[in-house]
Amino acid sequence: MSLNLHMSANPGVSPDRRVSLGHGRPLVAIPGPSVIPDRVLNAMHRAMPNIYEGALVELSTGILNEISTIPRTSGHGFIAITNGHGAWDMALSNTLSRGDKVLVLESGRFAIGWGEAATVSGVEVEVLHAPPRRAVDPAAVEERLRADKAHTIKAILVVQIDTASSVFNDIAAIRRAIDAAGHPALYMVDCIASLGCVPYEMDAWGVDVTVGGSQKGLMVPPGLGFTWAGDKAMEAHKSAGLRSSYWDWTKRITGESHYWRYHGTPPISHLYGLREALDMIAEEGMENIWARHAVFASAVRAAIETWAAPNGLEFNVTDPAARADSVTTLLTGSIDPARLRQICDQQAGLTVGLGIGNEGGSFRIGHMGHLSPPMILGTLGTIEAALTAMGAPMGGSGIAAASARIAAAMQG
């Protein structure tokens, strides 16, 4: 059958027909895994090399020497074949002993998850809750630590960006609170959803252990877990009773051959991908990456501010200063978030994130990593179209506001 292009409209094709519109490249706008650059994917597609000597060992040694520049530390960086949950375990097992007590600073589901991992390992966990939908309050941390006169708390666990609530915590301010209380506990920070998205200064902020993962701001498929350890953490490591063969930092540093840097066969394809991602980060410049994330986050927030309506959407995080630049959680009021996600996914090729651990309905927009204005505006425009199709209560169209924020960062 051929189309008669001379007719005023294609016969039988009405723009009102309900069809799936999502036939271009699908877009996944969940808070990890993020969009992986084609450059990284292509770099990973290669035959397996000699793992004992030659180019791979050189590539890997270069990466291990360079990886500590990402969280800005002069401490050791470790790369393991694992996901973020494994990296949590690597941090805990290398520094703590059964029966030790840790203080988890909760501001969403992810800090709780890290604490649960510690509990399973026989660590006693106390949770200091932030007020609902708010960031960790440094003053509350100081007060709790001052009360711990015997210094029974061995470590403080916090998440820089909690990917469930989309709370952004002030890591430097929490350090100042720990110092003000004169408390010696190790300070451990999960940056899985924030490294390569927002400023982070491990050494300048006095962080002892940083935890990362490959698949969010670092633009590499899931499969690599990172820990970075400062001097104080390496000292605690010497007497850590939870040390286990696979995660052990000492073996990974001193093991007699390169093979032990990964406690076994290296994650070859991922290392090629990571090399490419580190090159892309260096080409763009970390400060520029942070600025780009700030612009896109501001565009997302501008759209939401306009969409917000009684019984409709609202920010999960109430304090504007505590809203993350890599992920935004929205509460959905009377709007069915499952239906919204379904319309976006099945009719438009856009996957937005499930809400997790929030009161009532919610969903999440991931805005981390390898993103451009067409991707951000496309995501927001598609969500807006789905809300419109659903007849959702909306304060107005957010697209102009989002586009204005992007325009403000452009040179005319």
User: Which chain residues interact with ligand PLP by CB under 6 A?
Assistant: 32, 83-85, 110, 159, 163, 190, 192-193, 213, 222
Instruction: Answer yes or no: are the C-beta atoms of 340 and 212 closer than 8 Å.
Output: no
Contacts of 9 (CB under 8 A, 6+ apart): none
Instruction: Answer yes or no: are the C-beta atoms of 111 and 157 closer than 8 Å.
Output: yes
Kindly calculate the radius of gyration of the chain based on its CA atoms and give it in whole angstroms. Answer: 23
Ordered strands of the 76-81 beta sheet: 76-81, 224-229, 209-213, 186-190, 153-159, 101-106, 124-129
Q: Which residue, 200 or 307, has its beta carbon nearer to ligand PLP?
A: 200
- For residue 23, count other CB atoms closer than 10 A to its CB: 9
Give dist(CA 407, CA 412) in Å, integer.
8
DSSP string, 22-62: --SS-EEESSSS-PPPHHHHHHH------SSSSHHHHHHHH
- For residue 43, count other CB atoms closer than 10 A to its CB: 19
Q: What tokens appear for 55 in the block?
A: 């180019």
* DSSP conformation class of 151: -
Instruction: Answer yes or no: are the C-beta atoms of 383 and 377 closer than 8 Å.
Output: no
- For residue 178, count other CB atoms closer than 10 A to its CB: 20
Whether residue 132 is preceded by a cis peptide bond, meaning omega within 30 degrees of 0, is: no
Give dist(CA 180, CA 187) in Å, integer.
14
Q: Which residue, 85 or 251, has its beta carbon nearer to ligand PLP?
A: 85
Give min distance, CB of 217 to ligand PLP, in A.
Answer: 10
β-sheet bridge partners, residue 351: 28
Give dist(CA 296, CA 378) in Å, integer.
12
Q: Which residue, 169 or 382, has its beta carbon nearer to ligand PLP?
A: 169
* DSSP conformation class of 323: B
Residue nearest to ligand PLP (CB): 84
Q: Which residue, 188 or 193, has its beta carbon nearer to ligand PLP?
A: 193
Nearest to 99 by CA among 124, 125, 127: 124
Q: What tokens appear for 30 in the block?
A: 């969940």
Q: What tokens appear for 141 in the block?
A: 């941390």
Give dist(CA 78, CA 266) in Å, integer.
12
Indicate the burial class of 51 (C-beta count within 10 angstroms; 0-12, 13-18, 19 or more): middle
Instruction: Answer yes or no: are the C-beta atoms of 258 and 91 closer than 8 Å.
Output: no
Give min distance, CB of 360 to ligand PLP, in A.
Answer: 22
